[in-house]
Structure 1
Amino acid sequence: MHKLRDWSHFLRDMVKLTGQMMALAWRALPLCFVIQLGLELLQGGIPLASAWLSKGIFDALGQGLHGQPFARLLPTLIFLLATQTVVFVLGQTIAPLNRFVSSELDRGLTLQIRETLFRKISGLVGISYFEDPEFYNKMELASSRAQFAPSQALQILGTLIQQGMTLLSFVGTLLAFNPLLALSISIAILPEIIVQLKFSRQRFGIAMLNSPRARRASYYGRLLSWTMFAKELRLFNLGEYFLRKFLDMTREIQHNEREQQKRELRWQGGLTLLGSLVSSAAFVVVISSAFSGRISLGDVVLYTSAVSSVQSALSILINTMAHTNDSVLFFRLYTDILKLEQPLAISTQTQPVPPLSKGITLRNISFRYSEQHPWILQNVNLFLPAGKCLALVGLNGAGKTTLVKLLTRLYDPTEGEILWDGIDIRTFDPQGFRYHLSTIFQDFARYELTAHENIALGGIEQIEATDKIEQAALKAGIHERIKALPDGYQTILSRWMAEEKKAGADLSGGEWQKLALARMLMRESDFLILDEPSAALDAQAEHELYCHFREMMRDRTSLLITHRFSTIRMADSIAVIEQGQISEYGTHDELLALSGTYAQLYTTQAEKYSLHGAPSPEPKSREREKRTETETTERERVNANRKPASPGDAQRANSLQ
């Protein structure tokens, strides 16, 4: 009973999803859809027409052998042979035309499915799905396999029409000749139905099993062949290691596929033997009927053709059902992704984002990825005054980048709220809210596009504003380097993505970082977030960048995350985050006076400056030392609750370097 219910659900799902695939094909290219169905109908009628014409020809020949004058048979033979020729030519013409129409439909469907899929994926306002490996497995199979499902379903529908017509017509012929024979042939095919559908599910299971392995094999292939890995690959002699990894993973994939094909081969051999026995028995029945004089020579041709055609049609129909199941299973991955809910709660009545005039408040913020994960942030309370710069300091893994993800609303806090001038940011449209932010992450993107595009992506609506793009490059200190490239701003920043006869170029780590800063500067936003903005820069470039920072952050709300205290001292206030909590808050001098974690970190870095003969970071101007009443209150509250510095702080401070 349980298995019967499973089969019922399976058939219902298959019919439903096949209908969705048909509807998608109709919406994509309705004319091709109709033409292909018409061609499939024509192809389905050709075998029956050919069989009946052959019967007529052989009957005429039989009459001639029995004394019928050839002159009387000639017109009939000429008509039958001419018609047979027309049917043959029609069959040969329809096949390539059908392939062309099918390919055209494939192209249209592939474009539509990929557009819909990538539009859905790019429209997800949060990033939680992208940190789930199971989502990547589904997305990879959906993008690589599901795109062909609707066109395959249409071909399958055409095959069903073709073979269904063939089956019905020839089964009718066999029923008229010998009902028991027709029934025996039909029943003998049942084992193949069960086996093929079972194999279909197994093939899908193998595809899901191999998906993460295929992704890893692809990654190892990139390690062996991409420019960005070429230097270390050779310096550390890693070629053989990654090649072995690639081969091991590929062999594992092939082993899984091979074992599945072996299982299918063993069963297929038995099913073929069964079909051959049934076919042979049917031929014996037909031939014995001819010898007994019950049927003519033409009937022998017709009935033997009918037996072969019924078996062939049934076998094709069963394989078609199995491939329909394959297509349905992969298409379901596509529909599952389309049905994904937004990872963030989006208000149905969003309100416009006002210009930031008071500040950003983090109230009782706690965050973890799920109930099974530990807390990353706990009870964080912080205020970023409008027009001021706050530096966030902490050891690696303290929760700094997670805090940035919450401020940019890539995630929502598990508990607490983030207020923009007193308004919960969850009431804003996420895209509209992010327009008021400019962010550079430590792991910023390196787009293998032109230098012009790399900068313009920070304000895509101004992609044609060449002057603004160059101005952003000037502020970031990358303009002269771009001008020196082979095609200036139109140079593709990639060796292997470059167009034919056009040289691509690559940049150093520091130059890529400047490019990312230029991209950030394309947007006149209310809130700047800089996560390790100078990590890849040399001392001179860092000094130039700091000058730009001072200008860039003037009267703008900004959050600065860095390990370099020469940069930290540019901030109006400093917050120290430890183990997901704010432990210290104040100005540079106030935090030094506390002799806590900040003082330990600063002292350790200052000693390294002195050791290398470099000057200590210059003191902050009096203007930058002015504190608002709100900042003072926040500082007193945090520092009153802070833990005293432990003896291990100095040791932990070294990890900041």
Structure 2
Amino acid sequence: MSKKLRPHIYGPEFKESENVQKNKSRSSVWKNQVFLWKLCFKTCPGFMIYHLYDAFRYQGMIFLEHVLGIRYVLRCAEFHEPFTKALLYIGIILLINMIQIIPDGFYCYSWKFKCRPRLYRALKEQMFKKASEIDLYCYDDPAYYNDFVLSVSESENAIDRFLDLLNMTVQALTTLFTTGIFFLVLDPIGVVFVFASFILRFFVSKSLNKVNYENRVAVNPHIRKRDYVSRVFYLKDFAKELRLHPNAGKQLEQEFAEANDEIIKEHKKVAGKRIWFQFLKDYGVGDFLIDGLYITYLVYKAAVLHTVNYSDAVILFNRTGSLRGSMGKFADLGPKAHENSMFIDKIRSFLAYEPRLKDDVGDNVPEGAGELSLSHVTFKYSETGRTVLDDISLTVKPGEHIAIVGYNGAGKTTLIKLLMRLYDPTSGTITYHDKNVATLCPREYHKRIGVVFQDYQMFGANLAENVVMDNMTKEEIEEKSPVITQALTSAGFEHKLNHLPDRLFTQVTTEFDKKGVDFSGGESQKVAISRAFYKNADILIMDEPSSALDPIAEYELNKAMETAAKGKTVFYISHRLSTTRDADRIIMLERGRIIEEGTHTELLSKNGKYAEMWNAQAGKYN
């Protein structure tokens, strides 16, 4: 390092950069609260206004009753005023309470329960929309994925904390204004005691909240692991495996215990600090300065100096708790806002993420089937990761049927993801209609591709929506019924469809509907295949399309594919080579490279890796 650069690290410039960072941090805290205010106010403006008013009303009534009311009654007793004066004042307070309790009851028992879920939904909808846009790269990055999970899990808590902060702020301001003026009129010195308590409490609260946030971040990965194990034990997907393999359950129990131990270990690391800061916050600061010193001061003024009435001394001491609480809330306000801001930062960072592949940006895709070409394509999931695909060059004519085969880990599914442009190549180009797919609009390009993944999913919707993969009204389903039914028939689902009580309206899974149907693995796979047929795309991609089918169903699917895929470009990815015999061309991958290419007959005659794989499975097809 040169001497010229050292001052920028060790000299005054470094201190200046620290100050800049602190200013940015304060600015970020403020902007994060404004972000949530705009979202909440736009979603439920009336609720937010009343939320602020309710905090003001609550502390206003307390001041009216517990300060002015009690002081008036005590003064009446101390100076022998008529009892009717005190009774009249109490009656007025009671009447005001009766009037304001009606809207307060509506707010507490109705409005709050209706509007809070709407606020949660408004934020979650933004996050769900962004989740559908972010690149698949993000799911491969553990650090990003941890932040993603944390931001989603903390979204509702962030809103709750923000509403609490608003309530706390308005209550504190109301108390500070009313009780502060009361103190300034009767005993300005009392404010000094409370202010000293406030300063000390502020720094203690800031330290405590920093410890709590760092602890929450530290335990988050362990909580995720513990939650995963919990899901395994209560989801029916794993029930059979756990009963057949009890040792797996024991191993998971051990991992659950280890995750719990790690969480406890992280909590223990900060337990001492938490106890100390909490003690200072709750007892050390307030009890010593206020309850001890200030009561001594007030007794001296009332009993010795006679400069304060006994009734006023009682009220002043009684209200020190409120004024201390108000200033304490201000002391907590900054650290609590900062703590919440750290979570909001993650939410906003997630929402602000700009995908590399922008769904609606790019050139129009030319009409009709076109030539698909890969030129020297190489791909890694991360800069430091292994090369998954290495220098792949391949040209596929319109309407050509290509089978991609190879052992596990050869790169078959990754190649398909690149063809679909779920990822961009690390190097090299992919073209469609002689246009680089990186320049095409992803949404339009994806419309041209019908795909069945080997890890397809069934959704808690009706059968028609599971085929179309969109929300549909009853009228829309009835209108599109012939096309949906034809797609299911082409996928070999016709027999099952005819025996469903509600046909296309049948709810898939029984999780949300007792009348729903849980399909077998083969039936679910046929529904997944019907999605590709329904889409009527130019390119069909079948990633292990027959893995859950019996040989007869597999044969019927292959025949249906021949009919449904006429004129379309088709990619088959399979370990089971029954689907490869009739392909126009077979591509065999090994360790990310194309090692053999040709028709079924040509590759058998070469007696290479494909022939070896075929001969190992040939007994099933002869």
Q: What TM-score do the two structures reach when normalised by structure 2?
A: 0.89
- Work out whether residues 172 and 330 of structure 2, in 8 Å CA contact, stay in contact via their aligned partners in 1: yes
1:44 pairs with 55, 59, 71, which one? 59
Deviation sequence 1:273-294 (CA, Å, 0-9, x none): 3311112211111122111321
Counterpart secondary structure, 2:396: strand
2:176 and 2:86 map into 1 onto residues whose CA distance is 27
1:459 and 1:325, CA in 2 relative to 1: closer, same or farther beyond 3 A?
Answer: closer
Counterpart secondary structure, 1:576: strand
Q: Which amino acid aligns with 1:277?
A: F
**More off after superposition, 252-261 vs 40-49:** 252-261
Counterpart secondary structure, 1:522: helix
Report the Cα offset of residue 134 of structure 1.
2.6
Report the Cα offset of residue 109 of structure 1.
0.9
1:592 and 1:537 map into 2 onto residues whose CA distance is 26
1:482 paired to 2:497? yes
1:8 and 1:94, CA in 2 relative to 1: closer, same or farther beyond 3 A?
Answer: farther
1:160 paired to 2:169? yes
Q: Which runs of no fewer than 5 residues in structure 2 stay unpaired?
A: 1-14
The 5-angstrom pairing of residues 156-235 of structure 1 reads: 156-235=165-244
1:339 pairs with 352, 363, 369, which one? 352
Report the Cα offset of residue 531 of structure 1.
1.3
Q: Which amino acid aligns with 1:481?
A: K
Counterpart secondary structure, 1:35: helix
Counterpart secondary structure, 1:322: helix
Deviation sequence 1:358-409 (CA, Å, 0-9, x none): x111112111122211221122110111111111122221111111000111
Report the Cα offset of residue 524 of structure 1.
0.8
Report the Cα offset of residue 460 of structure 1.
7.3
Deviation sequence 1:387-435 (CA, Å, 0-9, x none): 1111112222111111100011100111111111111112221111111
1:21 pairs with 27, 36, 60, which one? 36
Q: Which amino acid aligns with 2:173?
A: G
Q: Which amino acid aligns with 1:469?
A: I
User: Which residue does 1:576 correspond to in 2?
Assistant: 588
- Work out whether residues 392 and 574 of structure 1, in 8 Å CA contact, stay in contact via their aligned partners in 2: yes
2:102 and 2:270 map into 1 onto residues whose CA distance is 37
Q: Which runs of no fewer than 5 residues in structure 1 stay unpaired?
A: 65-69, 617-657
1:370 and 1:442 map into 2 onto residues whose CA distance is 23
Report the Cα offset of residue 344 of structure 1.
2.1
- Work out whether residues 194 and 327 of structure 2, in 8 Å CA contact, stay in contact via their aligned partners in 1: no
Report the Cα offset of residue 98 of structure 1.
4.7
1:342 and 1:211, CA in 2 relative to 1: closer, same or farther beyond 3 A?
Answer: same
Report the Cα offset of residue 248 of structure 1.
3.8
2:410 and 2:267 map into 1 onto residues whose CA distance is 45
Report the Cα offset of residue 488 of structure 1.
3.9
2:502 and 2:308 map into 1 onto residues whose CA distance is 83
User: Which residue does 1:598 correspond to in 2?
Assistant: 610
2:133 pairs with 123, 136, 159, which one? 123
1:420 and 1:5, CA in 2 relative to 1: closer, same or farther beyond 3 A?
Answer: closer
- Work out whether residues 569 and 588 of structure 1, in 8 Å CA contact, stay in contact via their aligned partners in 2: yes
1:483 and 1:219, CA in 2 relative to 1: closer, same or farther beyond 3 A?
Answer: farther
User: Which residue does 1:398 correspond to in 2?
Assistant: 410
- Work out whether residues 353 and 433 of structure 1, in 8 Å CA contact, stay in contact via their aligned partners in 2: no
Q: Which amino acid aligns with 2:367?
A: P
User: Which residue does 2:316 correspond to in 1?
Assistant: 303
The 5-angstrom pairing of residues 379-458 of structure 1 reads: 379-457=391-469
1:221 and 1:154, CA in 2 relative to 1: closer, same or farther beyond 3 A?
Answer: closer
1:282 and 1:138 map into 2 onto residues whose CA distance is 48
**More off after superposition, 593-602 vs 360-369:** 593-602
2:521 and 2:168 map into 1 onto residues whose CA distance is 56
1:340 and 1:248, CA in 2 relative to 1: closer, same or farther beyond 3 A?
Answer: same
1:326 paired to 2:336? no
2:320 and 2:576 map into 1 onto residues whose CA distance is 84
Deviation sequence 1:514-540 (CA, Å, 0-9, x none): 221112211111011111111222111
1:197 and 1:227 map into 2 onto residues whose CA distance is 45
1:263 paired to 2:273? yes
Counterpart secondary structure, 1:566: helix
The 5-angstrom pairing of residues 355-374 of structure 1 reads: 355-357=368-370, 359-374=371-386
- Work out whether residues 377 and 393 of structure 2, in 8 Å CA contact, stay in contact via their aligned partners in 1: yes
- Work out whether residues 529 and 558 of structure 1, in 8 Å CA contact, stay in contact via their aligned partners in 2: yes
1:264 and 1:167 map into 2 onto residues whose CA distance is 28
1:169 and 1:347 map into 2 onto residues whose CA distance is 56
User: Which residue does 2:10 correspond to in 1?
Assistant: none
Report the Cα offset of residue 5 of structure 1.
5.3
The 5-angstrom pairing of residues 44-83 of structure 1 reads: 44-50=59-65, 51-64=67-80, 73-83=82-92
**Over aligned residue pairs, what C-alpha RMSD do you find?**
2.6
User: Which residue does 2:108 correspond to in 1?
Assistant: 99
- Work out whether residues 361 and 442 of structure 2, in 8 Å CA contact, stay in contact via their aligned partners in 1: no
User: Which residue does 1:245 correspond to in 2?
Assistant: 255
1:33 and 1:332 map into 2 onto residues whose CA distance is 22
> Percent of pairs identical after alignment?
25
- Work out whether residues 573 and 586 of structure 1, in 8 Å CA contact, stay in contact via their aligned partners in 2: yes
1:527 and 1:615, CA in 2 relative to 1: closer, same or farther beyond 3 A?
Answer: closer
Q: Which amino acid aligns with 2:289?
A: V
2:544 pairs with 526, 532, 551, which one? 532
Counterpart secondary structure, 2:356: coil
1:563 paired to 2:575? yes
Counterpart secondary structure, 1:503: coil
1:551 paired to 2:563? yes
2:515 pairs with 503, 508, 516, which one? 503
Q: What TM-score do the two structures reach when normalised by structure 1?
A: 0.85
1:104 and 1:4 map into 2 onto residues whose CA distance is 43
1:585 pairs with 597, 601, 608, which one? 597
1:554 and 1:458 map into 2 onto residues whose CA distance is 26
Q: Which amino acid aligns with 1:417?
A: T
Q: Which amino acid aligns with 1:447?
A: F
1:114 paired to 2:124? yes
Report the Cα offset of residue 549 of structure 1.
2.0
- Work out whether residues 362 and 442 of structure 2, in 8 Å CA contact, stay in contact via their aligned partners in 1: no
Deviation sequence 1:265-319 (CA, Å, 0-9, x none): 3322233133111122111111221113211133113311332221121223333
User: Which residue does 2:285 correspond to in 1?
Assistant: 274
1:297 and 1:109, CA in 2 relative to 1: closer, same or farther beyond 3 A?
Answer: same
1:6 and 1:352, CA in 2 relative to 1: closer, same or farther beyond 3 A?
Answer: closer
Counterpart secondary structure, 1:380: strand
User: Which residue does 2:142 correspond to in 1?
Assistant: 133
Q: Which amino acid aligns with 2:541?
A: I
- Work out whether residues 40 and 162 of structure 1, in 8 Å CA contact, stay in contact via their aligned partners in 2: yes
Deviation sequence 1:434-473 (CA, Å, 0-9, x none): 1111111122223243333322228979755122222111
Counterpart secondary structure, 2:387: coil
1:145 paired to 2:136? no
Between the two proteins, the alignment pairs up a number of residues equal to 598
Counterpart secondary structure, 1:164: helix
2:20 and 2:569 map into 1 onto residues whose CA distance is 61
Q: Which amino acid aligns with 2:73?
A: I
2:578 and 2:331 map into 1 onto residues whose CA distance is 73
1:256 and 1:105, CA in 2 relative to 1: closer, same or farther beyond 3 A?
Answer: farther
